[in-house]
Chain A
């Protein structure tokens, strides 16, 4: 589609690499510039380049003896944090007042990216998660520095510092690509960029033996899942001849066997990312092995990235369409996703009951949360049951609820991981007993952790309750639909997705067991030997935890702005 034609049908289109293109993607560009800066700045030194055959030396600055200021070990972290913060600021300005300028970026006839409320919402989510993680790692990485009085050079491993932040930035860029992509292949490229970075980030936890092991595990399982997803994409291309979202949407037919097989295979790839059962086995190992802020990013941003894939494929492409032919086949995935959601949430919660490693427990709880979101997606699938002209608000409200859930998950799931990160700073958080007496040692951090646990369990009035409430309200609203006639309704008139809401509630009742256990251990038990003193200081990680805590409470008490934002994001998907 040429920009001229595109503009004619009322879309704001830009050819890639044109002038408008650079303005449109300026926030993402900031990240790329920051990435380049991260390569260069720590390596600035007094090296000189001698022009061959002369004695003339030109200062070259890359290498040699590093300058004290730019070579400081604190620089990469600050640079990365500042970069992400700047990007976030540029994006937040136009989403908060709801006036995201929708821009479509094309290349030749195909649409590559689309900047709209939906993609901006997810970009902000990713950046907030990565920002918090990068803030938290400012203090965290040199775990042993707080004790000794070694020289700066000895304490910091400069190169390693830079690597971590480079990887965090590439993760963020990859995730943003996924959010923007309008072509399944572009989406896949972004997904892989983010995934490969996270594989290394998981293995980065060198203080523990399990770091490298879990990194490899995560990489192997992840690449198999990606491979399967890619195979699914190739089958989809074979069947429909395109990977463009808009074209696939028109071409999709639920009766094509090859199409359904392709859909199934693609879902495997995304299912791994959201850690839905039965593709979740690598998740607990990866989270337990990774250092906590990275595990937090995996559990929130990475999951949201997989969710984008699922929403794009399930809601945008294959949703029972408006052509008037509502058939069982067109919503073929409804039964599969509904079954998987119940299995996922139950499996996650029951496995979490038995795990004594807090990080594994949080990993399993994140599996359970994936189940809740899959349940919401199946309700979207059931949105048009019985009638073709059901108001689109129902479906939009559910998608908005999923977005809300993903967003607030950053506040309390990441926050919980950051608290574990503080415990890692003083040596390990892989046993439940590491948390014992936390509320006595550091009342504020202990209380924050307890509030995160309550939010995860869904206790009002915290953000976790609001998100669960909205998801369940969405499911119930679909199941009730418009059967309400003349004030009388029979229970059997409700759609069966109502039972998914019940399953969610029963599961959150089960989950209270293990969330409360953390609280009991923190408030009742006596601290372990060698852990009697208050926690190490760590100003920036504490600040990150505070941000999470305040967000958890505030987004629960006054959620209107965020709900509106989610709703606008959901509206900007292609619904008609």
Chain B
């Protein structure tokens, strides 16, 4: 009797939520045709950015009006619809890559974008909703659309799912917005918008110190990005005045990135220096500060371990998987491409920061007893590699940095998924708490070993490709200094293997279940975690064996960047 009753309620909720979503979807489907004058469909604005954000807002508003007990009931349909909604952007981005929907020409020159769309937003100051994708942004967009459903599946059983999963979806929309924005103002809006869902994910589902960690995360990145914004505004006013629909009616200037790149390219040509050396150096430093904190690089990394350790599994997966890449993406998109002369000026400093991040992150990892904190510091270490790639000033180094962003975006969510499963089932994060995991939960042991191996750069897995390319580039530029990062990669192997040895093996025949379980048999992972991790593992192998799937596009972008910006700029 009670069973059928519960089913009835669920059916009603399904219909309600589903009906709402159908209306939204119908509106979304028609909107692109109505809004733009030309016949081409806008595949980015609404399907990839607007849809996730609007759907999640509706679901959140809907869920917030329900009582506590009803929330448990409606969590199921909301979860399912969130997953369904997150699969739509994935389907679209995948088919854009394979030309299933429309033929997209990914063979782009520098400052050319596929699927570009532009609508005037704030006329007075020259802001437009300008979106488009190129070889730099598309891999990141695909990665985001891919990670959202995987994260939702992996953390299927998270408590209070009625609000948790929509927040993940909103996060995805905001992140895609950052990558597709081709307007400085729009870029900044999405840059800050990503903070809000993540703030709530840490605040409401985090660990013991979530209050501290969420605020630290928000304030740290906000403080850095306002400096970046001041740099952007100064840059905006240092542009020549112009007129046209893109230009502000009051300020006569525009936030459009395409115009900005064209101006910079023309000014940098030959011996010319865009804005002059002095101004370039200062603006470069201001923009880099915002991106370095997000990346994060030592010494601005202290928010990351706190945020990761406190964040829920899904939050950590997205934080490490995509949000850190925002920093690297921003660097390559703006300061590096705009100010090549300043890049030369700061080259050694960037190299030093990257090297310090790499070394420091790895050494700190050795001393960690908390599994998640160790993985968080390993992220700092890997992000250092991206900086080394940028500092190398070699095409292969840039391609390596790009591929590192992509590979780390698949591997690190898996690392955090393993940590999350560990925490979820054993109620402890201590490395020494459990020994002989292989005996009790073989699945988790296998995934842990796989993820750890992928992260330390085992050949045939995605991380190895990036590291190898980077080493080549680094050798070309800095010669025997290569011994230092090479040595660090050995340390990386050491801390990963050591932690594996302590958790998976040891403990004798019977193993040693964690004390926090109070003598119960340690369970193995759930089906949903299993599904999520196997997908991540599959793609780690796929991109390890066939890196060119993603690497071709990245290499093309790098090639154009070097040809047009660096060589054209006389560097």
Residue numbers of A with Cβ under 8 A of B are: 393, 397, 400, 443-444, 447, 454, 457-461, 465, 469-470, 472-473, 476-477, 480, 484, 487-492, 494, 498, 501-502, 505-506, 508-509, 512-513, 516-517, 519-520, 523-524, 558-560, 563-564, 567
Contact = CB atoms under 8 A, between A and B. Distances in A.
A491 B279 contact: yes
Q: Is the interface of B mostly helix, strand, loop or mixed?
A: helix
B435 to A, nearest CB: 36
A559 B219 CA distance: 26
Nearest to B121: A558
A447 B211 contact: no
A512 B219 contact: yes
A278 B23 CA distance: 56
21 contacts: A393-B250, A400-B250, A454-B196, A457-B222, A460-B189, A473-B233, A477-B237, A480-B238, A484-B237, A487-B272, A491-B279, A491-B282, A492-B278, A505-B226, A508-B226, A509-B219, A512-B218, A516-B215, A519-B199, A560-B124, A563-B122
Given A460-B188, A489-B238, A523-B203, A559 B122 contact: yes
Contacts of B334: none
B479 interface: no
Nearest to A501: B230
Given A454-B196, A459-B196, A520-B215, A489 B230 contact: no
Nearest to B204: A523
B523 interface: no
B149 to A, nearest CB: 26
Rank and list the top 10 A-B pairs by shortest CB-CB distance, nearest first.
A509-B223, A488-B276, A443-B64, A505-B226, A460-B189, A480-B237, A563-B124, A490-B278, A487-B267, A461-B189
Contacts of B219: 509, 512-513, 516
B279 A490 contact: yes
B276 A502 contact: no
Interface string B441-470: 000000000000000000000000000000
A488 B215 contact: no
Contacts of A454: 196
B124 A487 contact: no
A129 to B, nearest CB: 24
Contact of B237 (A393, A444, A458, A473): A473
B126 to A, nearest CB: 11
B226 A491 contact: no
Given A461-B189, A470-B125, A560-B122, A488 B236 contact: no
Given A484-B240, A520-B215, A560-B124, A498 B234 contact: yes
B275 interface: yes
A167 B211 CA distance: 43
B163 to A, nearest CB: 10
Contacts of A516: 199, 215, 218-219
Given A473-B236, A517-B215, 8 more contacts: A397-B250, A443-B65, A454-B196, A501-B230, A512-B219, A520-B215, A524-B203, A558-B122
Nearest to A520: B211
Contact of A476 (B193, B226, B233, B272): B233
Contact of B211 (A459, A492, A524): A524
A473 B234 CA distance: 8
Contacts of B226: 458, 505-506, 508-509
Interface string B193-229: 1011001100110000011001100110011001101
Nearest to B212: A520
Interface string B230-249: 10011011101000000000
A397 B249 CA distance: 11
A47 to B, nearest CB: 52
A501 B229 CA distance: 11
A3 to B, nearest CB: 35
Contact of A488 (B123, B250, B275): B275
Interface of B: 64-65, 121-125, 188-189, 192-193, 195-196, 199-200, 203-204, 210-211, 214-215, 218-219, 222-223, 226-227, 229-230, 233-234, 236-238, 240, 250-251, 267, 272-276, 278-279, 282
A73 B344 CA distance: 75
Contact of B214 (A443, A472, A520): A520
Contacts of B273: 488
B398 to A, nearest CB: 26
A472 B279 CA distance: 19
Contacts of A517: 215
Contacts of B211: 520, 524
Contacts of A501: 230, 233
A458 B237 CA distance: 21
Contact of A397 (B218, B236, B240, B251): B251
A330 B283 CA distance: 33
B229 A505 contact: yes
Contact of A461 (B124, B125, B193): B193
B261 to A, nearest CB: 15
A308 to B, nearest CB: 22
B272 A460 contact: no
A368 to B, nearest CB: 14
Contacts of A492: 278
Nearest to A460: B189
Nearest to A443: B64
A220 B124 CA distance: 44
Nearest to A393: B250
A26 to B, nearest CB: 31
A460 B193 CA distance: 7
B188 A473 contact: no
Contacts of B238: 480, 484, 489
B279 A489 contact: yes
Nearest to B189: A460
Contacts of B276: 487-490
Contact of B230 (A397, A472, A487, A490): A472
Contacts of B218: 512, 516
Contacts of A400: 250
A494 B203 CA distance: 42
A520 B203 contact: yes
A393 B251 CA distance: 8
B109 to A, nearest CB: 23
A488 B222 CA distance: 30
Nearest to A461: B189
A400 B124 CA distance: 12
A473 B250 CA distance: 12
A505 B227 contact: yes
A100 B211 CA distance: 51
B55 to A, nearest CB: 17
B227 A460 contact: no
Contacts of A470: 125
Nearest to A484: B238
A487 B122 contact: no
A512 B222 contact: yes
A383 to B, nearest CB: 14
Given A461-B189, A563-B124, A480 B203 contact: no
A454 B227 CA distance: 18
A476 B215 contact: no
Nearest to B211: A520
Contacts of B204: 523-524
A394 B21 CA distance: 47
Nearest to A475: B233
A491 B64 CA distance: 50
B503 to A, nearest CB: 32
Nearest to A494: B234
Contacts of A567: 124, 250
A509 B216 CA distance: 12
A512 B199 CA distance: 13
Nearest to B281: A491
B50 to A, nearest CB: 13
Contacts of B65: 443
B114 to A, nearest CB: 26
B215 A487 contact: no
Contact of B124 (A513, A520, A564): A564
A519 B196 CA distance: 11
